[in-house]
Copies of this chain bind each other. A is one copy, B any other.
């Protein structure tokens, strides 16, 4: 199989396939369903490094006992607007979706709710969770970090300490919601890994090699040598560094678990919040402001007259609508390991749209 080739699948077929694979390993029904929904939502939105590409490594971690198949998080603290869970190595995608359900319910009663999850497994694509809140007229913020990884350099350093530490958020407007999901490093581990495999280069000098030279070559990251640069790079990377440290403080400091503890494998430490505009300045005022600025951005003078200004999430939501209709395009490098797992677990692989 050529890893840069692609195939097109119906998204419901992919979901059934993903659920079947997870169930075959003993993951309970609710968790199999939610994990699959979150991964496929990532692909629908076009975040192909954080969609079904993750399922094979998740299955591998389940097999090794590094991701639990059943159980509930341990409640460390539970105040109306402040909740802390120990995720107990359960699937991070399922924990995060469950946490959003709780935070959104609480926000509707108490105006706001903040929740931390320590020791959950990886949480995949943060953008994939946002409409769970925005569909209810709520604001949501999600941040995560991975204490087992240290690929991102502090500003002024040539060795890594923290992780790409994404900040995601969503909020309603009178039209589509605005959905943001940005790492606080210029690029991500997933993108560097993919370009390394494909012998590609990054669009800019977004890495630093072990000699302290900025570079676009993913091969300059060798084990613990070289690092990803924080947003702002060597010129004003104090900004990305500062935001990355904030994500560390909220996801690992507040949750109470992180880099200071022994590595337990692939981990997503999570901080999330939901807000109900009805209990601040009112939902009409909220929508009036967010719609005004969304429209003003779309009407701003574009640099390229043929490329109008977009809102964050706009391209993803458009792609999602298209892919629900005409199928999800997956690289063979994503499909191939899943077909190996299907053979191993005795699960029927999905047909492509052409084969249906």
Contacts and interface: CB of A to CB of B under 8 A. Distances in A.
Contacts of A254: 139, 275, 277, 280-281, 286
B79 A156 contact: no
In this complex, the interface size class of chain A, counting residues with CB under 8 Å from chain B, is 35 or more
21 contacts: A77-B111, A79-B111, A79-B279, A81-B81, A82-B280, A112-B114, A114-B273, A155-B309, A156-B309, A158-B301, A171-B246, A178-B245, A180-B246, A204-B235, A231-B231, A241-B312, A245-B311, A250-B275, A254-B275, A254-B281, A255-B281
A347 interface: no
Interface stretch (A7-15, A161-169, A334-342): A161-169
A154 interface: yes
Contact of A258 (B273, B289, B308): B289
Contacts of A162: 293, 297
A137 to B, nearest CB: 12
A234 B81 CA distance: 39
Instruction: Count copies of this chain in the complex.
Output: 2
Interface of A: 76-77, 79-82, 84, 110-114, 116, 118, 139, 141, 150, 153-162, 167, 169, 171, 178, 180-183, 186, 203-204, 208, 212, 231-232, 234-236, 238-243, 245-246, 248-250, 252-260, 273, 275-277, 279-282, 285-286, 288-293, 296-297, 300-304, 307-312
Contact of A256 (B118, B280, B303, B310): B280
Contact of A167 (B243, B273, B293): B243
Given A116-B280, A286-B256, A307 B156 contact: yes
Given A302-B156, A309-B157, A255 B280 contact: yes
Q: Is the interface of A mostly helix, strand, loop or mixed?
A: mixed
